[in-house]
A and B are shown apart, each in its own frame.
Chain A
Amino acid sequence: DTEVTQTPKHLVMGMTNKKSLKCEQHMGHRAMYWYKQKAKKPPELMFVYSYEKLSINESVPSRFSPECPNSSLLNLHLHALQPEDSALYLCASSQVQGGYGYTFGSGTRLTVV
């Protein structure tokens, strides 16, 4: 299995809702990442988990809450989002701590209404 699987593919949520994005990989990668991508822009790093521990938080607002239950799973919990948070949310993983050999998922297209 050489994929990073993200669910759901599309999500529409209201500003008072709570929802979660899920990411799964079975490649034995020990680093996992959340990125946010706005239209026509490169991905922006949000969080990095290394060996299931949060190693980088790029000053992301607390309405985004990451969780890494085990080495294969990564969640992003969403609460009280704003319309400007609408974007493509990408999960990625890599074999070693660092940018070598990143594998991205197909993303979750999030729309906040």
Chain B
Amino acid sequence: QQQVKQSPQSLIVQKGGISIINCAYENTAFDYFPWYQQFPGKGPALLIAIRPDVSEKKEGRFTISFNKSAKQFSLHIMDSQPGDSATYFCAATSFGNEKLTFGTGTRLTIIP
């Protein structure tokens, strides 16, 4: 019940296209859903996060869509750029829970 399932495992998108990564969770106690971006040899960096009281959050080219009834959330990267090439992890947690449950990761490659 603590799992967060993430897909796809890898994704290749043309420059200027839309990259979409999906995650699904089971634990209805989760109330905070962050996305992390990780470049090789670096630690994960918080990209954007959402709480279940909103269905969408946008920050620049990055948008999280959240479907509470389906227990799914997704990251959309608009106008994808080569600099977006990285591994993306979705995650979930709840207030007071010291553990951050990560998805399995998506390796995104943006080609010119």
Listed in ascending order, the chain A residues whose CB lies under 8 Å from chain B are 4, 6, 31, 33, 40-43, 45, 48, 50, 55-56, 88, 90, 92, 96-107, 109
Listed in ascending order, the chain B residues whose CB lies under 8 Å from chain A are 32, 34, 36, 41-46, 87, 89, 91, 93-100, 102-105, 107
- Asked whether B91 lies within 8 Å of A99 as measured between CB atoms, the reply is yes
Q: Which residue of A98, A100, A106 contacts B42 across the interface (Cβ within 8 Å)?
A: A106
What is the minimal beta-carbon distance from B15 to any residue of chain A, in angstroms?
24
- Asked whether B44 lies within 8 Å of A98 as measured between CB atoms, the reply is no
Contact of A99 with B93 at beta-carbon distance under 8 Å, contacts A31-B98, A55-B98, A56-B99 already known: yes
Q: Which residue of A42, A92, A100, A109 contacts B41 across the interface (Cβ within 8 Å)?
A: A109
- Asked whether B44 lies within 8 Å of A99 as measured between CB atoms, the reply is no
